[in-house]
Each structure stands twice: as structure tokens, then as C-alpha cells.
Copies of this chain bind each other. A is one copy, B any other.
Amino acid sequence: MKLKSFFPIMDWLPQYTGDQFKGDISAGLTVGVMLIPQGMAYAMLAGLPPIYGLYASTLPLILYAILGTSRQLAVGPVAMVSLLTASSVGMLAETGSGSYIALAISLALIVGLIQFFLGTFRLGFLVNFLSHPVISGFTSAAALIIGISQLKHLLGVNIGRSHHIHEILLEAIEKIASVNIPTLLIGLGGIALIIAVRKFNRSIPGSLLAVVFGILVSWGFGLTESGVKIVGEVPKGLPSFGIPTFSMDMLGTLLPIALTISLVSFMESIAVAKAVQAKHKNYKVIPNQELIALGAANIGGAFFQSYPVTGGFSRTAVNDQAGARTGMASIISAVLIILTLLFLTPLFYYLPNAILAAVIMVAVFGLIDYKEPIHLWHTDRGDFWMLIVTFVATLSLGIEQGIGIGVILSLAMMIFRSTRPHMVELGEVPGAKVYRNLDRFTDLKKRDDILIVRFDAQLYFANINFFQERMSELIRAKGEHLKAIIINAESIGYMDSSAMHALEEFVKKYKARNIKIFFTGVIGPVRDALNRAHLLDEIGKDRLFMTVQQAVDVIDGEGAPNALNGRLENYTLQTNK
């Protein structure tokens, strides 16, 4: 029991069946075959020699299989995290240099430690602060940046590193004359091949075919002579053990992005893990355990030359479709990569960089989501602008700034919105003993002597002033005849101490003016709070009712004699003080 919760592999390994193995071997091999080109491509995107993408596809997969709660999640290098790695490590060292590689590996350790820490202390909920529009805007912008960053490999020209898309595009146009035609043709061929194969049959590994095509063409026609850049010497053998090191200075620089990577990669991972789990239902994805598993995968990987990894969208989908039943599929993928490292690396000598660029471009352009902004424009203008701001900020200011601004802005908007919640005057639906918003319906019965108000939010320090001011307006509008105020508190989910103070003042003020205050539908936690603050006594226990109608009846004297029976007193007043 205890052991199982630390090592979810114990959930399935002891009952492992041949049937499960049949699914796992097919899925594991399929994903492994996908991983070879993708791993190399994403390593290139991260600014690392391609071999590091294969290194990152070994131990982390096995560690995740042992510790992860998802049985189909395919861990390894992914585009977004590779880009984030390049953008942070690129600030500290020259791309591809020895210290660059060392830093990328240290980054994996830091990311792993952060994720492990977040998981252990059950802080996985932090990822909830990434709202849908922010994720959408951020992902589209990052995909665009990633795609455009591969232009130089596709065109075979030298373009300076930049985070500004327009600069890259301008430079590409300036250098249009020096484009290496064979490189471009190979790249476009790769793209066409991947897309065509995908259209034809999703279970054929198009990117591997593109790799084979690229190698054959560049080797067969001797295209390196014509200036086609190739991967070149790929060292044979497994990643060696090494202790990642970094200075405190570097830690300071790496920490913000490590935190971004931790959360973004967790988010990508948990989203796809949950989506796949929803289909299977024979196990449960536990977010904080997922953080621990991803953390362990990154920490362990960092000691064997791996850069940051996470669970990826596309490979997980393939893994699931190809029949993965347990984490054994991941272990099989890892074994395939290990065999590749041991025996097959010489084959990649002639692999053109343009093919890896093609693999990346096809993968990320699918992430650009143009439908969501259109959808939001029609349904939620605020969230539309949130998406646009995040998108523009990510493109113009940078990856982690973009997501940071998105998160802060969406929280700020949420707070701001809560300061001016929906608050309406109610009237009676004729003959129905039900009360609805007077502004929405024209046929409601409105009375001069009773003000019925509904406040649709928690009542707390940031909106208590709004409540008081709106209340004063409504009361002023009623004029002289007003003898009672009914506050329909159904939708007040919480009240803090600032609200209690203001409410006490409010009740006293209108008591003094001989206007009766009633509360209806007060929910349990709020009743408790009112009681603890002794406000229930100030209001008067005979002023609380289950429904608006009961309060109206009492005001009218109709329910007077045994009103307190009719209103289910126990239910209306009960509190767990």
C-alpha cells in the first residue's frame, strides 16, 4: 500500500500479463522509432548536438515508468522545453560549446529538484493559475518562435540567433539569394513526406521515413559537396555518468526559467496524461505524484547527460494508439534508443539538418491555435485580450516573460472583476413565488416598500465598498416607502472579517432608520462565520429565511403566526460554530 503510492509501478508490474506485453511491445517500438528523429531534432532546437536528444530518451523514460502514475505518458525531449532550454542557457554560454552542454544538463537537475519539491509539498495546484487563454496564446507564440527559428536549417543560410521573429524573417529575406537550394529541397521534401504519411496513415512513423530519405539523398548524391549541412560524427555508446555542477551565479540566472520549465512541462504532461487516462479508467493520474516522477526523471537524467524532459503530446498519443497498456512500453522505447546508441549512430552521419528542421516545423505548426482567439472573440472578450496580450508578450518580450505576464494579468483581472461583482435588484415572477433580476425581465412585480437584492460573489475586503455603495444607491432609489431590505445571499460563497465589520455597520445603520434587514438562503459556511462574529444576533435570528418568498410573507404578515415553523428554522439557522 505504502510502497505502491511511492512506486506506482508496483500497481501493475506484479500482475503483468502477456496480453499487456503484446500492446506494450508494439507501442514501445513505435514510440522509440519516433523518438530517434524527434530526440535529435529537439536537441538541435535546444542548441545541443543531436546525440543529447537520444541521451535524454534513455534513463528518464525508465525512471518515469517506475514512478509515474500514467501508463501511457511518453516522456522525453519535447519542443517547448527544448526552446526554453535554448533561451535560458543561451544567455550564459555559446550555443553548442562545452559549457553550454554542461549548463543544459545542470538545468535538468534544477528543474528536476523544483518538480520533486513541488510534488512532495503538494504544490501541483500552482499549475491551475495557467488559464486557458494564457496557455493558448503562449503555446501559439512559442510554436511560431520555434518554427521560425528553424528557417536557417531549412534554407541552409546563416541567421543570427534572435528571439524577435521579425528580425529573423527580415534576415532570411535579405539572404534569400544565398539560400542553398539542395538543402531547401531536402527540407521541403521532408515536410511533404511527413505530412503526406500522416494523412495516409497516422501509425506510420513519417519522421523516421523522412530521416531515411534525407540520409539516402544526401549520401547518395554526395550533397555535402553542394553545401548541405549534415549532422556529422555522432559518438557511439551510452551517456556516461557525471555530476552536474553550476555556480550560485548561474543558479540565480537559471532559476526563473527553471521554474517556468517545471510548470510548463508539468502542465503539458498532466494535460495529456489526464486526457489519455480518461479513456482507460483502470488507473488514476495523481498530479503531485506526476511532479515527483517527472522530477526524478530529470534529476536522474541529469547525472547521465540528459537535458530537461517531460511528457509530450504527440508521442503520448501515438503510444496510446499503438496499444500501450503499462509503463513497460516506455521501458521498451528506452531500450530501443539504448540499442541505437550502441550500434546505429554511424548511420546518422549523413542526416541533413534540414530534415531535423522539417521534423520540428511540422510538429510545432500544429500547435498554433488560430481557432481559439476567434472563438473567444465571440464568447469572452476579456479572455480574448488575455490571449492576445500573452501571445504578443511572448513574441516580443520572450518566452518566460510572456507566460509571466499572462499569469499575472489573468490573476489581476480576476481580482479586479471581483471588486465589481454582479449585483441586482429582484422582483417577483408573477404567481410563481420566485424572484428574478428586474433588469432582465419586464413583467416582474416590483414593490416600493421592499428592496430585494442579490449579490453574486463572495463578499470580502475588495468588494465590500462596492456592496455598500450600490446598496445605498438602490435604497436611495426606493425612496420614502422602503420598510424592509431582503438580501438574497444564496450566491455569497464566503465572507471575510472586513465584510463582517461592514455588514454590522450596515445592519445597525438601517435598524436605526427603522428599516428591517432580512437575509435569505445563507449557505452553511457563511452562517458559521456570521455566528462566530456574533452578527447573527445583531441581525436577529428571526430575520433569516430559506427563501425570499418566506421573508416577503413575514413582512406582509401573512406568514406571521407560525412563520418560524414554515421556514424550517433548524435548516435556516444551523451552524457548525
Q: Complex formed: what's the CA distance from A533 to B354 in Å?
A: 42
Contact of B496 with A380 in the complex, beta carbons under 8 Å: yes
Given A133-B498, A434-B546, A491-B491, also A465-B532 (CB < 8 A): no
Pick from B436, B437, B497: contact of A133, CB below 8 A: B497
Is residue A305 within 8 Å, beta carbon to beta carbon, of the partner chain? no
Contact of B461 with A498 in the complex, beta carbons under 8 Å: no
Pick from B130, B457, B460: contact of A458, CB below 8 A: B457
Contact of A417 with B500 in the complex, beta carbons under 8 Å: no
Pick from B422, B496, B524: contact of A523, CB below 8 A: B422
Contact of B529 with A380 in the complex, beta carbons under 8 Å: yes
Q: Which of A489-529 contact B (CB under 8 A)?
A: 490-494, 496-498, 500-501, 509, 521, 523-525, 529
Is residue A481 within 8 Å, beta carbon to beta carbon, of the partner chain? no
Q: Complex formed: what's the CA distance from A422 to B134 in Å?
A: 26
Q: C-beta contact mask, A355-384 vs B, less than 8 Å → 1, else 0?
A: 000000000000000000001101110110
Contact of A574 with B441 in the complex, beta carbons under 8 Å: yes
Is residue A432 within 8 Å, beta carbon to beta carbon, of the partner chain? yes
Q: Which residues of B contact A95 (CB under 8 A)?
A: none
Q: Which of A119-153 contact B (CB under 8 A)?
A: 125, 128-134
Is residue A248 within 8 Å, beta carbon to beta carbon, of the partner chain? no
Q: Which residues of B contact A498 (CB under 8 A)?
A: 131-133, 383
Q: C-beta contact mask, A415-459 vs B, less than 8 Å → 1, else 0?
A: 101110110100001001010110011000000000000101110
Q: Complex formed: what's the CA distance from A133 to B461 in Å?
A: 9
Identical copies of this chain, number: 2
Is residue A568 within 8 Å, beta carbon to beta carbon, of the partner chain? yes
Q: Which residues of B contact A465 (CB under 8 A)?
A: 125, 128
Q: C-beta contact mask, A467-496 vs B, less than 8 Å → 1, else 0?
A: 000000000000000000000001111101
Q: C-beta contact mask, A554-577 vs B, less than 8 Å → 1, else 0?
A: 000000000000001001001010
Is residue A462 within 8 Å, beta carbon to beta carbon, of the partner chain? yes
Q: Which residue of B lies closest to A383 (CB)?
A: B497
Q: Which residues of B contact A525 (CB under 8 A)?
A: 422, 456
Contact of B496 with A131 in the complex, beta carbons under 8 Å: yes
Pick from B379, B464, B490, B529: contact of A532, CB below 8 A: B379
Q: Can you list 20 A-B contacts with CB-CB less than 8 angstroms, sorted by A residue number?
A: A128-B462, A130-B461, A131-B460, A131-B496, A131-B498, A132-B498, A278-B509, A379-B532, A380-B496, A380-B529, A383-B497, A411-B462, A414-B460, A415-B415, A422-B524, A436-B571, A440-B574, A456-B493, A456-B494, A457-B494
List A residues at the B interface (Cβ < 8 Å).
Answer: 125, 128-134, 278, 375-376, 378-380, 382-383, 410-411, 414-415, 417-419, 421-422, 424, 429, 432, 434, 436-437, 440-441, 454, 456-458, 460-466, 490-494, 496-498, 500-501, 509, 521, 523-525, 529, 532-533, 546, 568, 571, 574, 576
Task: Pick the 7 closest A-B CB pairs, nearest first.
Answer: A131-B461, A456-B493, A132-B498, A383-B497, A491-B491, A379-B532, A380-B497
